[in-house]
Structure 1
């Protein structure tokens, strides 16, 4: 598979009773190399009842990187010039 096969991910998510984005996060948790992998059952249980942080992480997956950069620039400018340029 060379890319994300959305149809297969959605079908598997339905079969497992999780949201597709949470399934992708669960797969990432299982594939981590820097920590011992938790069991698949534990990861799926967490995916079925995602925390607020997990929901936010899943939402970030669909946000373009450029959007983050623009948000950071906007925040930096607002901090530097709270009343706008003069």
Structure 2
């Protein structure tokens, strides 16, 4: 089974994953999005601005960055959980 990115998906991946990129491509995309938002946020002073000329834009950039960071962390937790389940299954079925 292949994801929308063309990479082969893990055999235990649900059919709903066919429309989604593989984990590698999804993490790469999330990292690229987070990097882009980090650069934009730094234009407004980043996490510790000395002074801010546009508080509204700064807050939007910060909220956007936090949103993408949460997406990445949540997805990494999903992958870690799946890996733990796979290790358990392999231990039970040598």
TM-score using structure 2 length: 0.26
TM-score using structure 1 length: 0.27
